[in-house]
């Protein structure tokens, strides 16, 4: 890694020992050897991911991303004559990022145009999500929901054939028009209501039959990407909680879907999230009446993959920035990266990111394994990855931020944006407790998932006695499923074992050794960098843009 010479001086002093900002075109593919390994292991579309990695990391893309956040979305409820329009205005940078994501296949690459998934399509998609999350996580939200809406629509072949071509298009078409008139379309979801988000059975929005369609009346408390072309929505029909497709625009004009206000969010600022009201809103049923959860779970299952891989992307962005900084900044006569204690911190940060990426890409490969065992395993693997990766991301990103000293707190670096973004993927699509309870349910009800998980954990037995001991201790402590109150502890333990199993099988020995020693064998304090005896050089080499 080379740091250019200072470019200007001031009248009173020379500016020195301040690493210049990382500008220029930074390929997110070339700079990341661990990503390249995972892509090769999965048989994903390396050529497409490489092209996307070059584009997402370009100077131009980072400029658009910054603009999209600097000028956040604004709600325009009425036109100048006082007619309701309920439109959200986005900065041109937002549209450029949507265009970039869609044109490189973020929403489409997993799916075959005529139905079903492409070989290794989910791994390709996961790699794209991982890379775009590093640059502009807000725009990932509508792109993720579009990717995930496709399999849920398969519940109704008629609706699917009407929408699928537009959802799989590589075009970003923000026009406000019925789907038949658009080059491309995006899809959102509206489940959460004021009185209950995790507990969607508490939904009170009502659905009444109206010819071959339905009319919805009620409200939704969180609905992201309100300019989506349609929303998968839950509402109570006569037969119980049911899934519906609600287009924003009908052939005859605007659907009766009102945006009440935009949420003022901690992060994810380029993306709009809003409260909406349905007032006799036209909707089409997706799946049977009463089967709402079963239908929308197809979408939730796929959005969960992105909520598992995105934190690995956020960690990668934070790690790259910290690595750049500590290799260009000196304190006490030595570059920071040459200070023994900073090497320990950077190595521990690297283990966090490396294990998060291994867990999430392992889950993505399970999504691509379209047999009964693969499908069962994907459900448990993605939940474990979503839980652990999102619990670790805020802590990891904070420590990476601190490696920049005071500069890490300054908005001109990407660190504040990454820090604000870090909690979000842990909340939506199942907050921490809900995911842990879901894991218990899956293991209780799906023997195939239990079998596949145990097989993955057993596959690396007899390589590291500390791993074997930790695995034995887990099953000794929980020979059966734990009580609900221990679900976090159980999940935490299982997710770390799963991450270790991937690293033992896939990563260099020093990385697996470092993870097992510090996460499973207790050779670590409570904070990042409280480690010793690891092969720091070998672990730091994983970053790719490694300090010299």
With respect to ligand FAD, which residue has the nearer C-beta, 329 or 392? 392
Among 31, 103, 339, 431, binds ligand FAD (CB under 6 A): 431
Joined together, the tokens standing for residue 493 give 């333990």
* Binding residues among 246-265 for ligand FAD as defined by CB under 6 A: 265
With respect to ligand FAD, which residue has the nearer C-beta, 101 or 547? 101
Binding mask 53-82 for ligand FAD (x = CB under 6 A): ------------------------------
Q: What is the dihedral sign for C-alpha 80, 83, 89, 92?
A: negative
Q: Is 432 in the site for ligand FAD (CB under 6 A)?
A: yes
With respect to ligand FAD, which residue has the nearer C-beta, 154 or 434? 434
Neighbours of 272 (CB within 10 A): 26
Q: Is 227 in the site for ligand FAD (CB under 6 A)?
A: no
With respect to ligand FAD, which residue has the nearer C-beta, 221 or 284? 221
DSSP character string of 494-547? HHHHHHHHHHHHHS-HHHHHHHIIIIIS--B-SSTT-B-S--HHHHHGGGSS--
How many chain residues bind ligand FAD (CB under 6 A)? 23
Alpha carbon distance 376, 121 (integer Å): 18
CA 117 to chain CA centroid, Å, is: 20
Q: Give the shortest CB-115-to-ligand FAD separation in angstroms.
A: 26
Could you say which DSSP state residue 181 is in? Answer: G
Alpha carbon distance 540, 164 (integer Å): 44
Output the CA–CA distances (angstroms, integers) from residue 197 to 84, 234, 241, 344, in the order listed.
28, 11, 14, 41
Binding window for ligand FAD (CB under 6 A); candidates: 216-224, 293-301, 468-476, 529-537: 216-224
Binding window for ligand FAD (CB under 6 A); candidates: 12-20, 46-54, 197-205, 282-290: 197-205
First-to-last CA distance in the chain?
Answer: 6
Alpha carbon distance 390, 378 (integer Å): 18
Q: Is 273 in the site for ligand FAD (CB under 6 A)?
A: yes
Q: Which residues contact 70 (CB under 8 A, 6 or more apart)?
A: 91, 93
Neighbours of 444 (CB within 10 A): 12
Q: Give the shortest CB-345-to-ligand FAD separation in angstroms.
A: 30
The residue nearest ligand FAD at its CB is: 197
With respect to ligand FAD, which residue has the nearer C-beta, 184 or 226? 226
Q: Is 423 in the site for ligand FAD (CB under 6 A)?
A: no
Output the CA–CA distances (angstroms, integers) from residue 260 to 130, 175, 226, 265, 271, in the order listed.
32, 21, 11, 15, 16
Binding window for ligand FAD (CB under 6 A); candidates: 196-204, 449-457, 507-515, 529-537: 196-204
Q: Which residues contact 382 (CB under 8 A, 6 or more apart)?
A: 301, 304, 305, 308, 363, 366, 367
Q: Is 106 in the site for ligand FAD (CB under 6 A)?
A: no
Among 19, 142, 184, 197, binds ligand FAD (CB under 6 A): 197
Q: Is 424 in the site for ligand FAD (CB under 6 A)?
A: yes
With respect to ligand FAD, which residue has the nearer C-beta, 430 or 529? 430
Q: What is the dihedral sign for C-alpha 81, 87, 89, 95?
A: negative
Q: Is 387 in the site for ligand FAD (CB under 6 A)?
A: no
With respect to ligand FAD, which residue has the nearer C-beta, 189 or 499? 189
Q: Give the shortest CB-424-to-ligand FAD separation in angstroms.
A: 6
Q: Is 407 in the site for ligand FAD (CB under 6 A)?
A: no
Question: Are the C-beta atoms of residues 318 and 398 closer than 8 Å to each other?
Answer: no
Joined together, the tokens standing for residue 124 give 């390709």
Q: Is 482 in the site for ligand FAD (CB under 6 A)?
A: no
Q: Is 427 in the site for ligand FAD (CB under 6 A)?
A: yes
Closest to 229 (Cα-Cα) out of 255, 209, 193: 255
Alpha carbon distance 63, 70 (integer Å): 10
* Binding residues among 170-189 for ligand FAD as defined by CB under 6 A: 188-189
With respect to ligand FAD, which residue has the nearer C-beta, 273 or 327? 273
Among 223, 317, 319, 512, binds ligand FAD (CB under 6 A): 223
Q: Give the shortest CB-391-to-ligand FAD separation in angstroms.
A: 12
Binding site for ligand FAD (CB under 6 A): 188-192, 196-199, 222-224, 265, 268, 273, 424, 427-428, 431-434, 437
């Amino acid at each position: 890694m080379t740091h250019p010479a200072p470019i200007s001086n001031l009248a009173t002093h020379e500016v020195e020992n301040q690493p210049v900002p990382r500008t220029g075109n930074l390929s997110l593919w070339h700079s990341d050897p661990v990503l390249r390994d995972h892509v090769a292991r999965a048989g994903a579309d390396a050529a497409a991911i490489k092209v996307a990695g070059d584009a997402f990391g370009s100077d131009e893309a980072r400029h658009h991303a910054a603009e999209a956040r600097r000028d956040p979305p604004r709600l325009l409820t009425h036109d100048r004559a006082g007619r309701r329009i309920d439109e959200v205005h986005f900065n041109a940078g937002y549209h450029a990022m949507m265009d970039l994501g869609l044109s490189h296949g973020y929403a489409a690459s997993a799916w075959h145009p005529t139905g079903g998934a492409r070989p290794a399509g989910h791994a390709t998609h996961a790699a794209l999500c991982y890379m775009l999350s590093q640059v502009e996580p807000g725009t990932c939200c509508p792109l993720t929901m579009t990717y995930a809406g496709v399999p849920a629509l398969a519940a109704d072949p008629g609706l699917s054939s009407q929408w699928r071509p537009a959802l799989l298009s590589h075009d970003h078409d923000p026009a406000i028009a019925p789907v038949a008139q658009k080059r491309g379309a995006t899809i959102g979801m509206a489940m959460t209501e004021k009185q209950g988000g995790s507990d969607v059975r508490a939904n009170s929005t009502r659905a009444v039959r109206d010819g071959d369609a339905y009319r919805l009346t009620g409200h939704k408390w969180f609905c992201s990407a309100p300019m989506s072309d349609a929303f998968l929505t839950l509402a109570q029909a006569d037969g119980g909680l049911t899934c519906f497709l609600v287009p924003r625009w009908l052939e005859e004009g605007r659907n009766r879907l009102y945006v009440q206000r935009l949420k003022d969010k901690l992060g994810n600022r380029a993306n709009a999230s809003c409260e909406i009201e349905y007032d006799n809103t036209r909707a089409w049923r997706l799946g049977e009446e009463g089967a709402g959860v079963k239908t929308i779970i197809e979408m939730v299952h796929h959005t969960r993959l992105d909520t598992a891989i995105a934190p690995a992307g956020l960690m990668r962005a934070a790690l790259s920035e910290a690595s750049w900084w500590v290799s260009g900044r000196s304190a006490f006569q030595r570059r920071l990266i040459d200070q023994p204690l900073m090497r320990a911190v950077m190595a521990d940060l690297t283990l966090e990111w490396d294990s998060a990426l291994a867990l999430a890409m392992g889950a993505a490969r399970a999504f691509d394994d379209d047999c009964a065992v693969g499908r069962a395993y994907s459900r448990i693997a993605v939940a474990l990855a979503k839980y652990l990766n999102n619990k670790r991301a805020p802590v990891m990103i904070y420590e990476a931020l601190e490696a920049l000293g005071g500069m890490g707190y300054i908005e001109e670096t990407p660190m504040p944006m990454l820090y604000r973004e870090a909690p979000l993927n842990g909340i939506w699509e199942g907050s921490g407790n809900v995911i842990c309870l879901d894991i218990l349910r899956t293991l209780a009800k799906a023997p195939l998932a239990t079998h596949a998980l145990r097989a993955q954990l057993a596959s690396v037995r007899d390589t590291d006695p500390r791993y074997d001991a930790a695995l034995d201790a887990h099953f000794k402590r929980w020979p059966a499923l734990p009580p609900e109150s221990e679900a976090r502890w159980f999940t935490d333990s299982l997710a770390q074992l799963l991450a270790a199993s991937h690293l033992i099988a896939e990563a260099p020995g020093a990385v697996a050794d470092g993870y097992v020693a510090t996460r499973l064998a207790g050779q670590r304090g409570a904070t990042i960098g409280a480690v010793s005896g690891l092969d720091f050089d070998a672990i730091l080499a994983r970053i790719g843009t490694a300090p010299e």
